[in-house]
Amino acid sequence: MAVIGCGAVGPVHAEAIVGCPSAELVGVCDTVEERAERCAASFGGTGYTDYRAMVDDVRPDAISICTPHHNHAEIAVECLKRGVHVLCEKPLAVSRDQMDAMLEAARQGGRVLGAVFQHRFDPTTRAVKRAVDEGLFGEVLNAGVSVRCRKDRAYYDSGDWRGTWAGEGGGVLINQAIHSVDIMQWLAGRVTSVFGCWANLKHADCIETEDTMAAVVEFASGALGSVEATSASHLGFEASVHFFGTHGSFRLRTDWPNDLTSLDLDSPERLERVRTLLAEHQGEHAGPAPGKGYYGNSHTRQVADFVEALHDGRRPFVLGEDARHAVEIVLGVYEARRTGLPVRLT
């Protein structure tokens, strides 16, 4: 495997690859030569500044894309056409057309396009997903997302793509909140319509996108929900998903540490079953969180799953088409703000 993009999350992927017994890190690439060389010195492989040259030279079986959002699609399509499997960081892309091109390139090339939503691998989230699928919380009535974090001018100035529609594709919703949006729809079901708005309340001097947003969502089941996020908070990072069903409810932290901040069920039997499921996954919490603390430590699990899936010829846990829906929800909110009308999702 090789890694393209050695900024914040690229080294996390490199470390995960090195830690995977059935994978070898053969190359790392960044347009900033110093970052590529530093990553190669830390984790191995050869450093490059041109990903095409790297693919030609080291001929990886698969790559991780860890670059700014706007060039995910270009790099993925190029690599898939060259016969390389792709694991792409979130968001999959910044437009529907870009996502279409990535998925089509994977289909035509017969290669795997995986997508990073590492919090689907978090132990508590996995246990709760099993409980929801078993019907322990009943039919969903309401589900939603709350994300509060603090990003300052130095953060946005760290890359000229940050806080721009062309480069980042949006602001707090497409970058920080999209993980929680994905978990919400993974637990509560597909979203069929969105209506929302956004504002730039504190960062108008350094970004053109939103630092605060709120939206109402409708699920395929008929349940209703909400998404609210801000990057102008006094809090460093706090993210959660709530779920209210006919038999019980929970609130799940979707940052780190991943845990339940509330749990209520209408019968002792259901409560005991949920606790059993949680206990079954408890041992998976071990290990530090590489990179930024709120990344958690599940990149290691996701990279290992992707590698094992390629070896075994099976489907990775999160494919590109799985990750597409979270981006569709985000783009729907942006469109609703522009038009002032609800947006139907396919």
CATH of the domain at 201: 3.30.360.10
Q: The whole model's pTM is what?
A: 0.96
Average pLDDT value for residue range 223-252: 97
pLDDT of 177-197, one tens digit each?
A: 999 999 999 999 999 999 999
Same domain? 102 vs 127: no
- Residue 284 pLDDT level (bands cut at 50, 70, 90): low
Is the per-residue pLDDT at 236 higher than 70? yes
Same domain? 16 vs 90: yes
Is the per-residue pLDDT at 282 higher than 90? no
Residue 307 counted as domain residue: no
pLDDT of residue 287: 67
Residue 212 counted as domain residue: yes
pLDDT of 115-138, one tens digit each?
A: 999 999 999 999 999 999 999 999
For residue 95, the enclosing domain spans 2-118
- Residue 293 pLDDT level (bands cut at 50, 70, 90): confident
CATH number at residue 30: 3.40.50.720
pLDDT of residue 295: 87
pLDDT of residue 245: 98
pLDDT of residue 333: 98
Average pLDDT value for residue range 2-25: 97
Same domain? 46 vs 168: no
Residue 153 counted as domain residue: yes
Same domain? 263 vs 142: yes
Same domain? 93 vs 182: no
Is the per-residue pLDDT at 285 higher than 60? no
pLDDT of residue 250: 98
HEC profile of the chain:
CEEECCCCCHHHHHHHHHCCCCCCCCEEECCCHHHHHHHHHHHCCEEECCHHHHHHHHCCCEEEECCCHHHHHHHHHHHHHCCCEEEECCCCCCCHHHHHHHHHHHHHHCCCEEECCHHHHCHHHHHHHHHHHCCCCCCEEEEEEEEEEECCHHHHHCCCCCCCCCCCCCCCCCCCCHHHHHHHHHHHCCEEEEEEEEECCCCCCCCCCCCEEEEEEEECCCCEEEEEEECEEEEEEEEEEEEEECCEEEEEECCCCCCEEEEEECCHHHHHHHHHHHHHHHHHHCCCCCCCHHHCCCHHHHHHHHHHHHHHCCCCCCEHHHHHHHHHHHHHHHHHHHHCCCEECC
pLDDT of residue 197: 96
Average pLDDT value for residue range 168-179: 98
Same domain? 40 vs 96: yes
Same domain? 101 vs 130: no
Per the prediction, the chain carries an average pLDDT of 96
Same domain? 139 vs 72: no
